Structure 1
Amino acid sequence: MTNSYLHHQQPEFWTLQWPEALKRTTYVTTCTIEIQHDENGLHAHVSLDDDSILGPGDKMIVQGPLIRLSFGESCTLHRGVKIIRATALERLWIKVASYFELLELYEVSFTPGKLP
Structure 2
Amino acid sequence: MGLFREPAFDTRCSIAVEQSEAHFHAHVELDGDIAIQPGDKVRVHGAPIIVGFGESILIQRMATVQPAGALMRAWTKLTAMGELKELYEVSFTTSRW
TM-score bucket of the superposed structures, by smaller chain: 0.7 to 0.9
Equivalent residue runs for 1:2-81 within 5 Å? 20-81=2-63
What TM-score, normalized to structure 2?
0.77
Gaps of 5+ in 1: 1-15, 106-116
Higher-Rg structure is 1
Per the alignment, residue 92 of structure 1 pairs with 74
Structure 1 runs of 4+ aligned residues shifted over 3 Å read none
Q: Which has the higher strand share?
A: 2
| Bigger relative contact order, structure 1 or 2 (CA pairs below 8 A, ≥6 apart) | 2
State how many pairs are aligned: 84
Which consecutive unaligned segments of at least 5 residues does structure 2 have? 85-97
Question: Larger helix proportion, structure 1 or 2?
Answer: 1
Q: How far off its partner does 1:44 sit?
A: 1.0
Deviation sequence 1:32-68 (CA, Å, 0-9, x none): 1111111112111111111110111000000011101
Report sequence identity in percent. Answer: 37
TM-score (norm 1): 0.65
